[in-house]
Structure 1
Amino acid sequence: MNKRRSSAYQISVIGLLVALLLLQTFVPMFGYIRILPGVAITTMHLTVITAAIILGPKYGALMGFIWGCISLTVAWVMPNDPLSILLFRNPIIAIVPRVLCGLFAGLIAYGSFKTAVKRLPGWRMAIAGVGGALTNTIFVIAGAWLFYASSAAKLVGHGANTANLGFVMIALLGVNALTEAITAGVLTPLIGRALQSVRRK
């Protein structure tokens, strides 16, 4: 693939995925499936991970940054619950886990910061999907514990306090994290294969 065609492909994929992120944000039950107050299963990580395995870690991080900025904006403009207001109005919690989600997914897939240029085997896409999904969840929990242990504990409930907040959130979000990781592991190779086939044409 020549350089001009490659650049056009990258721009097209990024544009498509940014549009998808916006749809996932504003179409109910598309990007966030709420199961408890403050707890939702997201599909937005799939979009970020897809960018990482198709275009490489740098583009994965870029898409994660865009997702984080959307999360930050929504938390200020149209928040869904008190816990989201508390956590995602903090730029570090809103943006950093999302950037790391895309970055780590790309690094897992390619093992370096290079731009993706080769066809990945499905199992590497699956591992990258699982790794990216878990990265986002783990760093959101870590941010909540680091910045808002006392305040978040009151909102989380279920016996949470300053000392055990992280463990309570891990327990509450366990099904959430597992579902997101399995979904990413299954769907990422399917989406990735489809986009790679378009790239080769």
Structure 2
Amino acid sequence: MERNFETGSKRKTGTKRLTTLAMLSAIAVILGFTPLGIIPIPPVGATIMHIPVIIAAVLEGPVAGVIMGLIFGVLSVIRAMTTGSVLLFAFLNPLVSVVPRILIGVVAYYGYKLMPSKKESLKVGVAAALGTITNTVGFLGMMYILYAAPFAKINKISEDVVGKTILGIGVTHGIPEVIVAVIITVAVVMAVKKVRRN
């Protein structure tokens, strides 16, 4: 009887996790293929597509975060291909478009777990901020390391100022992204946790 209870409990947890991932994946696809996901601020769009990745990591763990990050990365490549992005050459490299997105979930999860606070909303907020910063720094950092010269040519700037330009993009895009991610992630995660407790 006890074994059956444990099996049923594991099955219920697995079903809950799959349901959460399916729901967040659907949201990611909607954000990826509509103007809702990316705010066009040239030369690189500001995004909220990373938020489902953070939510998945906090609610369901690092593996779920990695899966959602992979989905986000693949969707960003597809979006760049279908919209004719001038930075398509960078998006086609998984080191730029996929790897930083996979790391979002890992960083968000451990930021949440290792935050030495008993206040749940603060822990979730820190996870959201760290996940967002990982996305911004990872994507722009890899673009700078691998594609500084093409970036300079496309934007008609000197290679000497590419670093400052990318840093400026990181600040102007990153700060609003962090704020929005913290607000949405805290609201969604706290609401889901409250429902699960009832």
- Does residue 1:200 correspond to 2:197, yes or no? yes
CA distance in 2, matches of 1:124, 1:108: 8
Shift of 1:120: 7.1
- Kept in 1, the 8 Å contact 2:124–2:186? The answer is yes
CA distance in structure 1 between the partners assigned to 2:91 and 2:66 by the alignment: 18
Counting only pairs closer than 5 Å after superposition, residues 60-99 of structure 1 correspond to structure 2 as 60-76=65-81, 78-83=82-87, 85-99=88-102
Partner residue in 2 for 1:141: 140
Q: Which moved more, 1:132-141 or 1:119-128?
A: 119-128
Larger radius of gyration: 2
Q: CA separation in 2, counterparts of 1:141 and 1:104?
A: 17
Q: 2:45 aligns with which of 40, 44, 60?
A: 40
> Contact 2:32–2:38 at 8 Å: present in 1 too?
yes
Is 2:123 aligned against 1:106? Answer: no
Pick from 8, 11, 30: which aligns with 2:15?
8
Higher percent of residues as helix: 2
What TM-score does the superposition give when structure 2 sets the normalisation length? 0.88
CA gap 1:200/1:8 in 2 versus in 1, 3 angstroms: farther
* TM-score normalised by structure 1 residue count: 0.87
Distance 1:72 1:3, change over 3 A: same
Amino acid across the alignment from 2:154: L
* Structure 1: tracts of 5 or more residues without a match: 113-118
Provide closer, same or farther for how the CA distance between residues 140 and 156 of structure 1 changes in structure 2, counting only shifts above 3 A: farther
1:167 equivalent in alignment to 2:164: yes
What is the root-mean-square deviation of aligned Cα atoms in Å? 2.0
How many residue pairs are counted as aligned between the two chains? 189
What is the aligned partner in structure 1 of residue 182 from structure 2? 185
Quick one: which of 17, 27, 32 aligns to 2:24?
17
The residue that corresponds to 2:152 in the other structure is 153
Closer, same or farther in 2 for the Cα pair 1:192/1:165, shift >3 Å? same
